[in-house]
Structure 1
């Protein structure tokens, strides 16, 4: 790990600790992290950065569990089973914290492109693309007027409705590694269309990730289409 990577890890750990501190005392935070309350005070207030090993523990272990708990607190499911995750996808600072934890936990590797479908997945894709330092692209259900060439994927759903997504052909180059992300995976139909787009563009799938999995159908459908890692941060 070079100095820049070490500093980035330490700063991510401080961000996680600051988030946890919003709803905890330092004594409670000490019990949660197994770190001294005095040290935590200095980290949160910016007086000193945690060492590399402490930072890694906070990000990879404490951070993931804490973010799952925070995400679940932001999810609302109505009596018909519809998921309202606006409390998460509208909060860019929260998603910026999610990105490094997801990258560490799922071992996607560094993609060339982070791909999602408009619109709710865009904020998550933006956070992950920013973390990886790579391009962000999103497919739409209509063509952009000024774009001449598109990659498209079409599927007839069980309801009989035909769903089509379009992506500017320049968004993915042949051989690009592409991480597919979305805020929610339910049936897996959207993810399957995005996988089709990656294949048509000549890219390689680095992984499929969703913040929330509603049931297991979508995850299983994606896993049947690719050998790349597939997962979600939490499920309902």
Structure 2
């Protein structure tokens, strides 16, 4: 751990409590914080040590599974948002016998694709999905590591709908308090495992 990285006492355990207090606290102890990265005023939350720790990874996947916002019978596919949704989305999909679909940053997939743009603090960005990735009427659980303002998740949901699918729910590892990201995702149930200050 670098000298500037600290462990967190400001993380609130939410749905992660479904795995039990001891395991929840163990997982949170693995998440690092680096103030001033990537720029001043930002605290970078690093959950990569969770993935590198066998117990931590098991707790994370059990947490996602236990805290699903919907019953596994109510979705057909898991979609992961680039890039960290790719890290646990396939494992979660496999746990429930579902397929996995990647929602990628623009320019990473061969055509034909559906594209959706969204606003950033300074400018805009786009995400894409292959046009044949979702079957009409398919029910999709969208997963990602973090919900902040909700822009990326909203764009991902719009892509699923553009492809003919239905967004069944959203599942996030972390949420940033006070940014009201849920307001953009009001059409489907949402779960988050932990919360922290923005």
Q: Which residue of 2 aligns with 1:132?
A: 96
Decide whether aligned partners of structure 1 residues 221 and 95 sit closer, same or farther in structure 2, where only a CA change above 3 A counts.
Answer: same
Alpha-carbon deviation of 1:62?
A: 6.5
Matched, 1:155 2:111: no
Q: Deviations over 1:1-58 (max 9, x none)?
A: xxxxxxxxxxxxxxxxxxxxxxxxxxxxxxxxxxxxxxxxxxxxxxxxxxxxxxxxxx
Matched, 1:113 2:73: no
- Greater relative contact order (CA < 8 Å, ≥ 6 in sequence): 2
Q: Which residue of 1 aligns with 2:143?
A: 181
Q: Which runs of 5+ in 2 are unaligned?
A: 1-15, 36-41
Q: Which residue of 1 aligns with 2:27?
A: 71
Alignment partner of 1:190 out of 144, 148, 152: 152
Q: What is the aligned length?
A: 173
CA RMSD in angstroms comes to: 2.4
Assess if the C-alpha contact under 8 Å between 1:141 and 1:165 holds in 2: yes
Q: Which residue of 2 aligns with 1:170?
A: 132
Greater strand share, structure number? 2
Assess if the C-alpha contact under 8 Å between 1:92 and 1:123 holds in 2: no
Decide whether aligned partners of structure 1 residues 72 and 86 sit closer, same or farther in structure 2, where only a CA change above 3 A counts.
Answer: same
Assess if the C-alpha contact under 8 Å between 2:34 and 2:44 holds in 1: yes
**TM-score normalised to structure 2 length:** 0.75
Q: Distance in 1 between matches of 2:173 and 2:115?
A: 25
Greater helix share, structure number? 1
Q: Distance in 1 between matches of 2:141 and 2:186?
A: 12
Q: Distance in 2 between matches of 1:62 and 1:232?
A: 12
Assess if the C-alpha contact under 8 Å between 1:67 and 1:98 holds in 2: no
**TM-score normalised to structure 1 length:** 0.64
Q: Which runs of 5+ in 1 are unaligned?
A: 1-59
Q: Distance in 2 between matches of 1:92 and 1:193?
A: 33
- List aligned pairs for 1:1-236, cutoff 5 A: 63-79=19-35, 80-90=42-52, 94-110=56-72, 111-144=75-108, 147-159=110-122, 161-217=123-179, 220-236=180-196
